[in-house]
Amino acid sequence: MTAFEKGTLNRVRVATRASYDQDTVFSILDQGLAAHVGFTDHDRPVVIPMIYGRIGERLYLHGAKAARFAKVLGGGVPICVTVTLIDGIVAGRSAFHSSMNYRSVVLHGTAALVTDPGEREAAMEAVTNHLMPGRWDEVRPTTAKELAATAIISFAIEEASAKARTGPPNDDKEDYDLPIWGGVVPLQTVYGAPEDDGALAPGTELPDSIRKILSG
């Protein structure tokens, strides 16, 4: 089992809820859909929700070359990336013990602009397939103009930790005698029926990438 080394940035205070195991961290990353990317711009903290893709121990982000994130992160700056999966609402018999069941990761590293053509294409494929497995092979090839307008940011994971909470509320012993409901309301992300855009070419069928999403 390979683990990220504990450091000043990734050490979790409640050790029983922490994991530094790479497989655990990568599993949460692979199940998540949106990351929150934090960095500093003009001495102010900025956090942007973004889609992402993972290749090994490296995360990739992409967006418009003219966007602020590309201009700042492309210069090689420290960033923090978080991904959270919410599994349930925990209803305690007191506000103090009300909480959430969740799985989350916090990643630290240094961003860098990707300029190598091969890595840029691999990164775009990873981001596309992260949302819809196999979608890259279904869509038309990306044009040179589209590639030129896109900034790809590479993020090598230097420090990382996972944190999770499971189970019912941890109420105070004396509170269990109170006539107050306690427990967990499970929460799931459920995909709805696909809705086409009304402009499909005749004979176009639902692609395998969407079928994979629906089948879980």
pLDDT digits (tens, 9 = 90+) for 61-116: 998 888 888 888 888 899 999 999 999 999 999 999 999 999 999 999 999 999 99
Burial class (CB in 10 A: 0-12, 13-18, 19+), 190: exposed
pLDDT digits (tens, 9 = 90+) for 26-72: 999 999 999 999 999 999 999 999 999 999 999 999 988 888 888 88
Q: Give the angle 194-216-196 at the CA atoms, nearest 5°.
A: 10
Q: What is the pTM of this model?
A: 0.91
H or E element at residue 91: strand 78-91
**Residue 97: partners with Cβ closer than 8 Å, 6 or more residues away:** 90, 169, 170, 171, 172, 175
Domain ranges of the chain: 15-167+199-215
Class of domain 15-167+199-215: mainly beta
